[in-house]
Amino acid sequence: MRGIASAGNVVAAVEGDIEDVDGVLRITKIRLRYRFQIPADLREKADRALESYAEKCPAYQSVKGCIECAWEAEIEET
């Protein structure tokens, strides 16, 4: 991710809601909370990547419009 190591560094906690929609159980909401470390001088790049990653994320592109998705990140600068 823009020069930031992700393998072994990015951790995601994921929650979701399953609701009855017209008699069918459906995943209606997904919430992601990312945690990762970055060098202090890469904060701007990390923020830009988080702002635009959904456009290139195949999982999100597959469910957008069908499942409400929200994400946030806890970034530790080292």
How confident is the prediction along the chain (78 residues), in pLDDT tens digits per residue? Answer: 556 767 778 899 999 999 999 999 999 999 999 999 988 888 888 888 888 888 988 999 999 999 999 999 999 998
2, part of any domain: no
Residue 6 belongs to some domain of the structure:
no
Q: In terms of residue numbers, what domain contains 52?
A: 11-77
Residue 44 domain-assigned (yes or no): yes
What's the CATH number where 65 sits?
A: 3.30.300.20
Full-model pTM: 0.77
What is the residue-wise DSSP string for 10-66?
Answer: -EEEEEEEEEEETTEEEEEEEEEEEEEEE-GGGHHHHHHHHHHGGGG-HHHHHHTTT
Total domain count, the chain = 1
